[in-house]
Structure 1
Amino acid sequence: MPEDSRSLAGDDRGPSVADVNEPRYTRDELIAQLGIKPEFAEKAWNAFGFVRRSTDDKVATESDVAALRVFAASSGAMPEATQIAMARAIGQTMSRLADWQADQLREIADDPDTPWDLDQMSAALGQVQQLIWRRHMALALERHVEHSADEQFDLIVGFADIVGYTSLSRRIDLTDLEALLGSFEDDTFDVVVDHGGRVVKTLGDAVMFTFEDAHAAAAAAIRIHELSENDHLPPLRVGLARGPVLTRLGDVFGEPVNIASRLAGSARPGTTLIDDTIADEISADDRFYLKSMPSLRVRGYKHLKARVLEAHRDGPLND
């Protein structure tokens, strides 16, 4: 993402009515205002996704300085490595999002019937983005309160991926591939959220998600496979595993992540593999049918136990 004179403020439309009279600072003036070490400033600037060079562009307002001062002052409670990791997570996320949004806005602006110009649409999008972010932040803080301040949680981790993606990507053109991946990500996201789960990230041909409730996770896995009906998507495969995980910067780490990934990779097209913990939790649920299978020998696990999850032929899911 190229460095932009307004990117640090997260606003590509220039000063708003609210900040039009605020002082504005170059990058070097911003560093001086914050009173931070130049070495740390360079690391943070680079982590946010900008090139390491000075610029005369006025990149920040007084409001931005105040917000960044909170970030810079957190060094007492947060190690520098963690600060840089947070900056990198923000930078990478915002860069990818901005690139995608810019492409979409340009397409809309090219339509002669569009009544707004790029600046107007960018301003509106920025406002909407703030609204959605605030709501997600509120929900995330509620989850942390419910689970205490500990970053370790007992969760179900799931992976859903497209069977034969590598060969498929060689057979279809890029436009069709983009449409397929977009449909897969959007539809899988809808299923997971509708069942009370949370999508952690998308990985091209795979979606990683989490659930607290085993019954909801199992129902979501079965619904995900229904996305392949009527040639809507290629066959999919799903893996689910439960256990303690570490949540950090929006991502999830731990053995359940590895096991769920291995189970998804070992599942036959159109099937879901689950670990024994989840199988025990849902064994009495008449919506599901569990099939035994031999232990798996996969990378990192010589005897990985798993069960095949299916919708019960006479259960409520098939009514």
Structure 2
Amino acid sequence: MARRDVSRGAEVSLLSARKFWHALGFPNVEDDDAMFTEADQMALMAVARLVREQELDETTALAMTRAFARTTDRLAVWQTQLMAEAMADPEQEAALDEADARAVPNLASAQAAARKLTDMADELEPLLIYAWRRHLTAAISRMLADADPQQSSQGVRRVVGFADLVNFTSLVRRMTERQLAVMVQRFEALATDIVTAHGGRVIKTVGDEILFVTIDAAPAAAVALDLVETMAEDDLLPDVRVGMAVGPVLSRLGDVFGTTVNRASRLTSVAPAGGVLVDDALASALAALSGFETTALRRRTLRGIGPVTPSELRRTTGGRKTSAQAISTRAGAIPAGSTPAGSTPAPRKASS
């Protein structure tokens, strides 16, 4: 169908149909281009019904649509890459010279992945709905817990942490695209598993860095120390450094913003390789907890933040450690100490 057919069938204007299409994140098409199906019409009808029955105003309905679009776009790209890697011919991959190793699949692998994903779509769709409903329930629970009339207008209180792979820039220059992809994927899998195991949330990953939040101080400390210890025991990954701060954050578009986030980021940039730095407020919160200790370092001025006295976080003697091997296994990753075919381990104990 053309867009005119879709808008007519959904009983909405062409303008509203265009707004919906843009909110889904797709490029402009001509009104008479026959590129739409009944599924497009049903989706537009569903959004129009929400607005017509005053469940949502148009602005909110389009924002909801945009949220679905941005999330599912990243999901679809992620899954196609995973399937292409899974469908690659191991013998052909092993025969590639390092100079020829590319992160882009060859045509045969891409075609095989396309057929496989198309065949599996009906089986994967219920899993998507299930995961969304579980995460929606968790998000509603957090929203209700945060709904305190005494809460600061600046935002909800969270512990914010950044974990950053040390010496990543020099590694990028020495590794092939395929080796880099393997390393980044492993880092994301291990880090995500550690954060979620302690009840935290991964806000986003950007190549060599992961941003996470927790509600309380103890889980944040456990996450940070487990990240450092797990990466230190992994032969493929370089060390990480972690910076954390506690305070109000503003949550928008699935991300977090504010001075607390900036302070944690700046602390990460000055943390030593394999070390964890926390701000004054978090050090004070951890002082009352067993299993952790903090040591105040020299006062320093952080760019855009001002004077801060960071503290180094460590486990006390006898504090429980999370096995890096167990984390690797839970993440479904390659066991620590092994190296994927066609990749080389990163140099250990890289300097900051």
TM-score range, shorter chain: 0.7 to 0.9
CA separation in 2, counterparts of 1:145 and 1:53?
A: 42
Aligned partner of residue 289 in structure 2, secondary structure: coil
The corresponding residue for 2:264 is: 260
The structure-2 alpha-carbon separation of the partners of 1:110 and 1:264, relative to structure 1 and needing over 3 Å to count, comes to closer
SS across alignment from 2:288:
coil
Cα separation, 2, equivalents of 1:48 and 1:263: 37
| Number of residues of Structure 1 aligned to a counterpart in Structure 2 | 293
CA-to-aligned-CA distance 1:182-238 (integer Å, 9 cap, x gap): 111111111111111111111111111110110111011000001223324201011
Identity %: 34
* Structure 2: distance between partners of 1:110 and 1:315: 43
| Cα deviation, residue 312, structure 1 | 1.6
Offset, 1:180: 0.7
Tell me whether 1:92 sits opposite 2:70 in the alignment: yes
Q: CA contact under 8 A between 1:106 and 1:118: conserved in structure 2?
A: no
SS of equivalent to 1:49: coil
Root mean square deviation of aligned Cα: 3.1
Contact residue 286 and residue 316 of structure 1 kept, 8 A: no
User: What does residue 57 of structure 1 align with?
Assistant: 35
Is 2:165 the partner of 1:162?
Answer: yes
Distance (Å, rounded) in 2 between the aligned partners of 1:297 and 1:79: 46
Q: Which residue of 2 aligns with 1:144?
A: 143
Aligned to 1:213: 216
Pairing of 1:74-85 with structure 2 (within 5 A): 80=59
1:79-137, Cα deviation, whole Å (9 max, x unpaired): 73x665554443232222212323444555678999x8543212212222122112111
Structure 1 residues 74 and 185: CA distance shift in structure 2, 3 A: farther
- Equivalent-residue separation in structure 1 for 2:62 and 2:74 (angstroms): 18
1:211 maps to amino acid: T
Q: Distance in 1 between matches of 2:246 and 2:7?
A: 45
Q: Is the 8 A contact 2:275 2:312 kept in 1?
A: yes
SS at 2:147 equivalent: coil
In structure 2, C-alpha distance between the alignment counterparts of 1:159 and 1:32, rounded to whole Å: 49
Measure how far apart 1:40 and its partner are.
5.2
What SS does structure 2 have at the residue aligned with 1:169? helix
Structure 1 residue 165: deviation in Å? 0.9
* Conserved 8 A contact 1:105-1:121: no
Are the aligned partners of 1:264 and 1:273 in contact in 2 as well (CA < 8 Å)? yes
C-alpha displacement of 1:171: 0.7
CA gap 1:284/1:257 in 2 versus in 1, 3 angstroms: same
Are the counterparts in 2 of residues 221 and 238 from structure 1 also a CA contact under 8 Å? yes
Whether 1:242 and 2:221 are equivalent positions in the alignment is no
- Aligned to 1:228, the other structure's residue is in SS state helix
TM, length-normalised to structure 2: 0.73
Asked if the contact 2:51–2:58 (Cα under 8 Å) also holds between the matched residues in 1, the reply is no
Structure 1 204/60 Cα, relative in aligned 2: closer, same or farther at 3 Å? farther
Structure showing greater relative contact order (alpha-carbon pairs closer than 8 Å, 6 or more residues apart) = 2
Deviation of residue 27 (structure 1)? 3.3
Distance in 2 between the 1:56 and 1:28 partners?
A: 9
Unaligned runs of 5+ in 1: 1-24
Q: CA deviation at 1:43?
A: 4.2
Moved more, 213-222 or 135-144: 135-144
TM-score normalised by length of structure 1: 0.80
Where do residues 164-243 of structure 1 align in structure 2 (5 Å cutoff)? 164-230=167-233, 231-243=235-247
When structure 1 is superposed on structure 2, of 210-219 and 124-133 the one drifting more is 124-133
Q: Which residue of 1 aligns with 2:127?
A: 128
Instruction: Report the 3-state secondary structure (helix = DSSP H, G, I; strand = E; otherwise coil) of the residue aligned with 1:52.
Output: coil
Write the distance in 2 (CA, Å) between the matches of 1:63 and 1:88. Answer: 17
- The reply to whether residue 301 of structure 1 matches residue 305 of structure 2 is yes
Q: What is the CA distance between 1:157 and its match in structure 2?
A: 0.9
